[in-house]
Amino acid sequence: MPPSAVLQTETSTAPPVPAAAPEPTLKEIYDLYGDRVFRRARTLLRDPERARDATQEVFLRAVQDPRSVGAHPLPWLFRVTKNLCLNNLRDNRRRGLLLASRGTEIGGDGRTDARVVVNELLSRVPPDLQAIAVYYYLDDLSHEDIAAIVGVSRRTIGNRLAAFQALADELLLKEGNA
């Protein structure tokens, strides 16, 4: 038998290779998992309005980097939701501590004009720390996202946030003793 006949025989009897399942579109992911992400955020945040914002942010991050979602989106969605909500809770706790240390009164609805306090604090730190602090504490961006925007490494972002926190603590402590 000529070699080409052997090749044809071998290829014709081989089972067909199944095609890889196409990755779902972001709309399909939202349709499938949007309610679950919202319920997870509402459970963590205990506030439907903040949970809606968190759900929107999770899917915004999916739109910004669809490759990170992958073929199995639920673990990614839950991880991002959990991290986003925990950051949100931590930031709100920090804001409360900051306001309490400044003697700023919090209104009956649990909100205050924190912008005044934050603007005052930001005006006292170097510009490179201002931008990073705003991205992190006000925009709730991750170290990776900030690093991409600013054009430095993730580690540098962590170091600059630590420097900002130390400077903010120093300024607030100085103000508290004045």
Class of domain 113-178: mainly alpha
Q: Which pLDDT belongs to residue 112?
A: 45
Q: Which pLDDT belongs to residue 27?
A: 87
**CATH architecture of residue range(s) 23-105:** Orthogonal Bundle (1.10)
Residue ranges of the chain with per-residue pLDDT less than 70: 1-23, 95-120, 174-178
- How much is the mean pLDDT over the chain? 77
Q: Which pLDDT belongs to residue 114?
A: 52
Q: Which pLDDT belongs to residue 2?
A: 57
| Nearest in space to 98 (alpha carbons), one of 114, 81, 86, 119 | 114
Q: Which pLDDT belongs to residue 128?
A: 79
Q: Is the Cβ–Cβ distance between 29 and 55 less than 8 Å?
A: no
Q: Which pLDDT belongs to residue 153?
A: 94
Q: Which pLDDT belongs to residue 57?
A: 93
Residue with tokens 């602090």: 133
Going from N- to C-terminal start, the domains of the chain cover 23-105, 113-178
What SS3 string covers 111-160?
CCCHHHHHHHHHCCCCHHHHHHHHHHHHCCCCHHHHHHHHCCCHHHHHHH
pTM score over 0.85: no
Q: Where are the beta strands (DSSP E) in the chain?
A: none
C-alpha to C-alpha distance for 83 and 76, rounded to whole angstroms: 11
Q: Which pLDDT belongs to residue 19?
A: 58
Measured CA distances, 58 to 26, 30, 84, 99 (Å): 12, 10, 8, 28
Residue with tokens 């309610």: 35
Q: Do domains 23-105 and 113-178 have the same CATH topology?
A: no
Q: Which pLDDT belongs to residue 31?
A: 92
